[in-house]
Amino acid sequence: MSGRRLREAVKSEFGSHGTAGMDVVIAGLCNVYTHYITTYEEYQVQRYEAASTIYGPHTLSAYIQLYRGLARAIAMNTVQDLPSGPEPPLFNVTSLTLVPAVTPDRAPGNKTFGDVLQEANVQYRVGEVAAVTFVGANPRNSAENTTEHNFLTVERYTNVTGSWQVVQNDASWDTRFYWTKGSSGQSNVTIEWHIPSSTESGIYRIQYFGHYRRLLKQFYPFEGTSAAFEITNL
């Protein structure tokens, strides 16, 4: 309805200045600065879109007023006389960041990145949660150094091929990835798999993939693998 009222207002403005029958098309490009634009009536109800109309109940009226002025200037060939309007503020995002720097990673003594600290159980039933804790590294290292990367996979052993097949990853609804930051650059990663009822019986394992950082922004990939465990439907 907001779009219809805006189109009708622009069409009417052109028509009143000698350009009748104008076809008005709104290109609904996304703009995070304006968010939703509802009608005054819809704003009073305050459902999702209305509550997200962040500039108040007269947002649409303000747009219509401005677009009428633009349409009038186009129809009368006076665009050059329009005021330039206020300049938007310049947000120089490179001058300041509140995100702490990533420090070099360290593994505990006698351990290396990807080693298992807390192993999965030998057997689970559907509906239970399989969990494994690894020696980890800051996940930002991986996010900043690869565009296609899984932090974790859940894999099922296939007897026919004698290989492991990925059945879920970090994009799956049933997996969880928890990074726990410790001291002196050490950290742990706990991976949970909330085993869904549709899971087939069989042998499974969980793998963890990451990158650890050394000084001078040197990054090294690593992976960790849990022991194999059994899933039963009993």
Give the pLDDT confidence of 21-63 residue by residue, as tens digits.
889 998 876 656 678 899 999 999 999 999 999 999 999 999 9
pLDDT of residue 32: 62
Domain annotation covers residue 214: yes
Write down which residue in 81, 104, 131 finishes a domain.
81
Q: How far apart are CA 12 and CA 8, in angstroms?
A: 6
Structural tokens at position 165: 């097949």
pLDDT of residue 34: 77
β-pair partners for 221 = 211
Same domain, 120 and 221: yes
pLDDT below 70 — which residues of the chain? 29-33, 92-95, 145-148
pLDDT of residue 217: 77
pLDDT of residue 215: 83
Domain annotation covers residue 99: no
pLDDT of residue 90: 76
Are 228 and 211 in contact by the 8 Å Cβ rule? The answer is no
User: Could you read off the pLDDT of 68-77 as tens digits, one per residue?
Assistant: 999 999 999 9
Domain that holds residue 17: 1-81
Q: Is 36 annotated as a binding residue?
A: yes
Are 133 and 188 in contact by the 8 Å Cβ rule? The answer is yes
Axis crossing angle, helix 59-75 with helix 2-15, rounded to the nearest 10: 30
- Please count the residues of the chain: 234
Domain annotation covers residue 97: no
Q: What is the largest CA-CA distance in the chain?
A: 84
Domain annotation covers residue 102: no
Domain annotation covers residue 110: no
